[in-house]
Amino acid sequence: MRKSAFVMFVIGAMLLAGAAGARDWQKLGKKTVVFGNTEETASIAAKGEAVSQIAFKISGEWVRLKQVTLNFADGTSQKIDEIEKVKPGMTSAGIAVDDGSKTMSSIDFSYQAASSAAQGRGTVIVLGQ
């Protein structure tokens, strides 16, 4: 009896810790992109929240992000040349903002289809923490 109560306590604590971590990420903006065989560019207007790291979530078709530029309210920017491949429904690892927490104004990026689909539609969601 005590063993099962302890196991239930541990499982509950793990679930609570996971839920608390998931709430830390805020949606800064999103953009639905339509693509063909060529590389395209897009921009996402951000919510204007101060963040110390960002992550990308993809839904719909698999989109490969390239040459991402984070634009901040103070006029500075940060280039990210390589983003890990993020499968639809998944979220990338967090990417640290240089010089600590800054207020995001927009995110510019180039993209193309990451799958063999010649055409498609995907949504790029930018999360900040």
pLDDT digits 0-9 by tens, 94-118: 999 999 999 999 999 988 877 665 6
Residue 2 is predicted with a pLDDT of 57
Cα–Cα dist 92/99, whole Å: 21
Rounded to whole angstroms, the Cα distance separating 67 from 87 reads 18
- Span 31-85, pLDDT tens digits: 988 877 677 788 888 888 899 999 999 998 888 888 899 999 999 999 998 788 8
- DSSP strands (E only) in 36-96: 40-45, 50-51, 53-60, 63-72, 77-82, 95-96
pLDDT of res. 11 = 57
Mean local confidence (pLDDT), 16-22: 45
Tell me what pLDDT residue 1 has: 54
Domains (range + CATH), the chain? 26-128 (2.60.120)
Rounded average pLDDT over 86-101: 92
Between 34 and 91, the more confident residue is 91
pTM of the full predicted structure? 0.74
Inform me whether the pLDDT recorded for 122 exceeds 80.
yes
Strand 120-128 vs strand 53-60: parallel, antiparallel, or unpaired? Answer: antiparallel
Instruction: Tell me which amino acid residue 29 is.
Output: G
Q: What is the pLDDT of residue 39?
A: 74
First to last CA, the chain: 41
pLDDT for res 86: 85
